[in-house]
């Protein structure tokens, strides 16, 4: 794969995955009231970075609650695409890291929904957590098993 097509593939996956996470954050899951998050995104395609900063509306139950999702897109030595997501919350030193490897069986929208659900659940009580392989590579719910 030539470098320009690799960059295009990485850029497309990065931006579409960030959009899927934002969309999943605003969907009604039936388990909690829908919050209309204010989001501010920044993307650096050259470095394979994207971040969305999430702020709840002023009339939210906890208007100081918020945080961010940082995505990092890179190629492994074998040429396969990998996305790493780092979830963080305001007023919490805890982060959750999730690695997703591009494989034909990955359901990117399901992975985005799982990341959004993990972020909406708030920071886990434990220290920094590194989630294992994506749902398409092993456990049916790797984030659930990593965060409880």
Residue 28 has pLDDT above 80, yes or no: no
Q: How far is CA 142 from CA 93, 113, 118, 135, in A?
A: 22, 13, 11, 6
Average pLDDT, the chain: 77
Any idea which of 23-37, 75-89, 101-115 has the lowest mean pLDDT?
A: 23-37
Q: What six digits make up the tokens of 120? A: 């909406």
pLDDT single digits (tens) 31-77: 555 667 888 999 988 888 999 999 887 777 766 678 999 999 888 88
The label of the residue with tokens 């190629």 reads 75
- Which residues have CB under 8 Å from 83's CB, separation 6+? 13, 14, 17, 71, 72, 73, 99, 100, 102
Q: Which pair of structure tokens corresponds to residue 2?
A: 């030539």
Spell out a b/e string for 127-145, using b for 16 or more CB atoms within 10 Å of the CB, else e. Answer: eebebeebbbeeeeebbee
**Element of type H or E holding 55:** strand 49-55
* 38: three-class secondary structure by DSSP: strand
Contacts of 41 (CB under 8 A, 6+ apart): 18, 22, 50, 51, 52, 53
């Amino acid at each position: 794969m030539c470098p320009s097509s690799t960059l295009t593939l990485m850029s497309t996956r990065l931006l579409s995955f960030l959009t899927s996470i934002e969309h999943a954050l605003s969907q009604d899951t039936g388990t909690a009231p829908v919050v209309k998050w204010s989001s501010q995104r920044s993307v650096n395609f050259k470095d394979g970075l994207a971040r969305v900063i999430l702020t709840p509306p002023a009339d939210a139950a906890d208007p100081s609650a918020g945080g961010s999702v940082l995505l990092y897109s890179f190629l492994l030595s074998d040429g396969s695409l990998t996305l790493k997501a780092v979830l963080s919350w305001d007023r919490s030193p805890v982060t959750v890291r999730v690695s997703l490897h591009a494989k034909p069986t990955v359901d990117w929208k399901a992975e985005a929904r799982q990341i959004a659900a993990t972020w909406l659940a708030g920071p886990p009580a434990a220290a920094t957590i590194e989630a294992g392989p994506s749902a398409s590579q092993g456990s049916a719910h790797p984030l659930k098993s990593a965060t409880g």
